[in-house]
Amino acid sequence: MAAVNRVFAAQLAGLPVFGPDGESIGKVRDLVAGLRLDQQAPRVLGLVVELATRRRVFVPMLRVTSIEPNAVTLTTGSVNMRQFHRRPNEVLVLGQLADAHATLAATGVRVTVADAAMEPTRTRDWVLARLAVRERSSRLGLGRRRSSLQVLPWNEVAGLGLADLAVQPQGAGQLLMLFDTMRAVDVAATLRDLPVKRRHEVADAMDDERLADVIEELPDDDQKDLLGYLAEERAADILEAMNPDDAADLLAELTPADQSRLLELMEPEESEPVRRLLAYSSDTAGGLMTPEPVVLTPDATVAEALARIRNPELPAALATMVFVCRPPQATPTGRYVGCVHFQRLLREPPAELVASAVDTDLPALRADATLTEVTRYFAAYNLACGPVVDSGDHLIGAVTVDDVLDHLLPENWRETGLHDVGTAKSKESELA
């Protein structure tokens, strides 16, 4: 390994990882350390590396040949490709040590851990030799300055044993700063690696919009756990912030009593589309659809349509199609006229009416269409998004290809990762 004297965990987070031939492997997401019963510095066991498939694997430190400011390089050898799972005596440096409350061994002053630095030993091992800590204070006041960081040897900070981390409350400021650079699906994967206590602390610190995005990316059991942990009022706020189809899927997993109580706590305009979705079976077009597609009236212009699909908060699949309907525009709409593909919009003059570009040949899905019928529909017409209408030809929503795939994949695909979807693959990968 290249000569490096000290590396802070926060500096490693997000760094790209390359193989010996320069091929991209993934990104560093955390460090794994083995805590000791004495006060000696814990040994750094390895890195948690997120592959391009979103799978997180453990890479031993012996496989790390160099650590640079902008990348980590691995040496030749085999790496276990099984999904990373933390062992009982292990701790995630960023996930569990960051924001931990501790005390200075000599004075008893209360501190918060901001970061941890690993250093090499003579035996070529790496240890968490030093901690960056900040003094905590129970006194609050206007104009009070935040205390400065101190970098201290590990054995000068007490209260960081496994038993301490399991019971003492922690903040989540450092983790949230890390999450700011990550997509919701990656944050969800990080949360799944954390102990339940730590997961709940992070959820408490997140704002509602961000937590809603993350919950949408979690497996069903983890979704129910987090929602059940939250106070009912906040749980209802989270459901309001979620996409209606995702909120309906989550509520469908709850008991009728819990479902009814949370729906009552939601604002009526937010709960009404969710109630409508719950009326359909989850394996039909009605159960798969979102009730909030892009809908315009025939007298809208191409420029208006393009402005709507440019909305950065609009999911990519929904942005591929604009639906033209008679008023009202909110689902269920007036009579469904047809759709306009976004590529057609790009070829039309901005002042042209969308009515002149409507595709009236594409059939719409019925709400009771089965998952098999929906899948064939998407394959036959090469679509990313398709309209769903009721018996009166009113648009009631749209199905997107990601919703179809979500239901076609095995139920545990989020837990096992994309690496295991489809044919079985080797559990070990050779780094050439």
Question: At 420, is the pLDDT very low, low, confident or very high (cuts 50, 70, 90)?
Answer: very low
Which contiguous run of DSSP H or E holds residue 271? helix 268-278
- For domain 295-408, give the fold: CBS-domain (3.10.580)
Which sequence spans correspond to the domains of the chain? 1-138+146-173, 174-282, 295-408
Question: At 144, is the pLDDT very low, low, confident or very high (cuts 50, 70, 90)?
Answer: low
Which among 241, 183, 174, 178 has a CA at the least distance from the CA of 207? 241
Average pLDDT over residues 20-41: 90
Q: Are 1-138+146-173 and 295-408 in the same CATH fold?
A: no
Structure confidence at residue 216 (pLDDT): 94
Residue 99, Ramachandran bin (φ over 0: left; ψ between -120 and 50: alpha; else beta): left
Question: At 96, is the pLDDT very low, low, confident or very high (cuts 50, 70, 90)?
Answer: very high
Structure confidence at residue 398 (pLDDT): 97
For domain 174-282, say whether CATH 3.40.640.10 is its number.
no
User: Could you tell me which residues are beta bridge partners of residue 398?
Assistant: 290, 387
Structure confidence at residue 401 (pLDDT): 94
Question: At 81, is the pLDDT very low, low, confident or very high (cuts 50, 70, 90)?
Answer: confident
Going 231 to 211 to 292 to 279, the CA torsion angle's sign is: negative
Question: At 146, is the pLDDT very low, low, confident or very high (cuts 50, 70, 90)?
Answer: low
Structure confidence at residue 418 (pLDDT): 42
- Contacts (Cβ under 8 Å, ≥6 apart) of 204: 172
Question: At 397, is the pLDDT very low, low, confident or very high (cuts 50, 70, 90)?
Answer: very high
Question: At 348, is the pLDDT very low, low, confident or very high (cuts 50, 70, 90)?
Answer: very high
pLDDT single digits (tens) 295-312: 999 999 999 999 999 999
In this structure, are residues 181 and 14 in contact, taking their beta carbons and an 8 Å threshold? yes
In this structure, are residues 401 and 374 in contact, taking their beta carbons and an 8 Å threshold? no
Residue 232 has pLDDT above 90, yes or no: yes
Mark 188-208 as b/e (b = at least 16 C-beta within 10 Å): bbbbbbbeeebbbbbbebbee
Structure confidence at residue 264 (pLDDT): 97
> What's the CA dihedral at 312, 175, 96, 223 to 10 degrees?
-30
Structure confidence at residue 37 (pLDDT): 78
Q: What is the CATH number of domain 1-138+146-173?
A: 2.30.30.240
Beta strand 101-104 with 90-92 is: unpaired
Average pLDDT over residues 45-63: 92
Question: At 427, is the pLDDT very low, low, confident or very high (cuts 50, 70, 90)?
Answer: very low
Residue with the larger pLDDT of the pair 421 and 378:
378
- pTM here is 0.82
Residue 219 has pLDDT above 80, yes or no: yes
Write down the mean pLDDT value for the chain. 90
Residue with the larger pLDDT of the pair 365 and 193:
365
Here the tokens at position 209 are: 């919009």
DSSP symbols for 60-122: EGGGEEEEETTEEEE-SEEEE-SPP---TTEEEIIIIITT-EEEETTT--EEEEEEEEEEE-T
Residue 415 has pLDDT above 80, yes or no: no
Average pLDDT over residues 224-232: 96
Average pLDDT over residues 243-266: 95
Question: At 89, is the pLDDT very low, low, confident or very high (cuts 50, 70, 90)?
Answer: confident
Residue 421 has pLDDT above 80, yes or no: no
